[in-house]
């Protein structure tokens, strides 16, 4: 059976070395580029001629944009709408990477199944939150770690816990997405391996392979759902963290 981890292998397409660092263009970079290309196609077609009564393409873009704006309105308030393009970019990038990685047969690679990529995205959120927080509240931003109404004698402990939880956010954000994508793809590959293994029984060819194949079809549907849900969760958590920076709880 094929190694289920093989699909996550990074292949160098254009080896590149800058000042001793490896800047190679890899299959991961390629699929990120394809994702951005797909998003660009979607957005440029949808916003080519913006009209008061939208056409199909514009309605699709508007639907997604309003989805993000509603999320920001709900979780951050009117102030949060300023960050709608960035949250939208994060959401659509994760969504495109997740969904394109589900395409079978063509050797699609899922960049979001790599912790380096998800951590990079989470770092964008973290840096944004820190910059916005200090820009809006200055040193007052540190009161984020002092929840209101905490008894004074446990305050140091609570502040330490709050600070640690704040620091752990980019890691949880990154690991959640990476783990979901990796687990899903491993599962698909394992059941795919079962199809081959069971289907090659000499006596009754193909018959036993049908069961894991059916499971794989169902899993594919589930993985599509997870691809969308994880993109949503990523954007939702980003906007909740942004709320801390904008409103200090």
Partner 1 sequence: MPQFDPANFIPQLVWLAAIFAVLYFFVVRPTLPKVGRVIDAREGKVAGDLDAAESAKGEADAIRTRYDEGMDAARKAAQAEVAAAREAAARASEVRLKSLAGVLDGKATEAAERLAGACASAKASLTATAAELTGEAVQRLAGIDVPRAEIEAALAAQDRG
- Could you list the residues that contact partner 1 (CB under 8 A)? 5, 8-10, 12, 16, 21-26, 28-29, 32-33, 36, 39-40, 43-44, 46-47, 50-52, 54, 58, 61-62, 65-66, 69, 84-86, 88-89, 92-93, 111, 113-117, 119-121, 124, 178, 182
Closest contact distance (angstroms) between CB of 102 and partner 1 is: 18
Helix or strand or coil: residue 43?
A: helix
With respect to partner 1, which residue has the nearer C-beta, 43 or 227? 43
Could you tell me the smallest distance in angstroms from the CB atom of residue 239 to partner 1? 16
Q: Report, in Å, the least distance between residue 98 CB and partner 1.
A: 15
> What pairs with residue 18 in β-bridges?
21
- Please give the Cα distance from 43 to 147 (Å, whole number): 41
Burial class (CB in 10 A: 0-12, 13-18, 19+), 53: exposed
Residue placing its CB nearer to partner 1 in the complex, 65 or 194: 65
SS (H, E, C) 95-163: HHHHHHCCCCCCCCCCHHHCHHHHHHHHHHHHHHHHHHHHHHHHHHHHHHHCCCCCCHHHHHHHHHHHH
**Given the complex with partner 1, which of 69 and 136 has the nearer CB atom?**
69
User: Which of 4/199 has CB closer to partner 1?
Assistant: 4
CB of 69 to partner 1, least distance (A): 8
Answer for the pair 2, 197: CB distance below 8 angstroms, yes or no: no
């Amino acid at each position: 059976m094929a190694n289920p981890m093989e699909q996550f292998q990074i292949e160098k397409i254009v080896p590149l070395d800058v000042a001793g660092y490896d800047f190679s263009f890899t299959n991961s970079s390629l699929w990120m580029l394809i994702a951005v290309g797909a998003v660009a196609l979607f957005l440029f077609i949808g916003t080519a001629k913006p009209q008061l009564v939208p056409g199909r393409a514009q309605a699709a873009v508007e639907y997604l944009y309003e989805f993000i704006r509603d999320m920001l309105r709900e979780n951050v308030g009117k102030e949060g709408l300023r960050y709608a393009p960035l949250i939208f970019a994060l959401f659509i990038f994760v969504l495109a990477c997740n969904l394109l990685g589900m395409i079978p047969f063509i050797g699609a690679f899922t960049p979001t199944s790599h912790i380096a990529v998800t951590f990079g995205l989470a770092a964008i959120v973290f840096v944004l939150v820190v910059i916005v927080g200090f820009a809006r509240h200055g040193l007052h931003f540190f009161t984020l770690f002092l929840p209101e109404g905490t008894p004074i004698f446990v305050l140091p402990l609570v502040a330490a816990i709050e600070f640690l939880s704040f620091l752990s956010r980019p890691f949880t954000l990154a690991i959640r997405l990476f783990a979901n994508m990796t687990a899903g793809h491993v599962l698909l590959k394992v059941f795919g391996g079962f199809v081959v293994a069971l289907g090659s029984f000499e006596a009754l060819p193909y018959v036993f392979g049908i069961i894991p194949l059916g499971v794989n079809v169902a899993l594919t549907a589930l993985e599509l759902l997870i691809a969308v849900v994880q993109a949503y969760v990523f954007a939702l958590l980003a906007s909740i963290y942004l709320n801390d920076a904008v409103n200090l709880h």
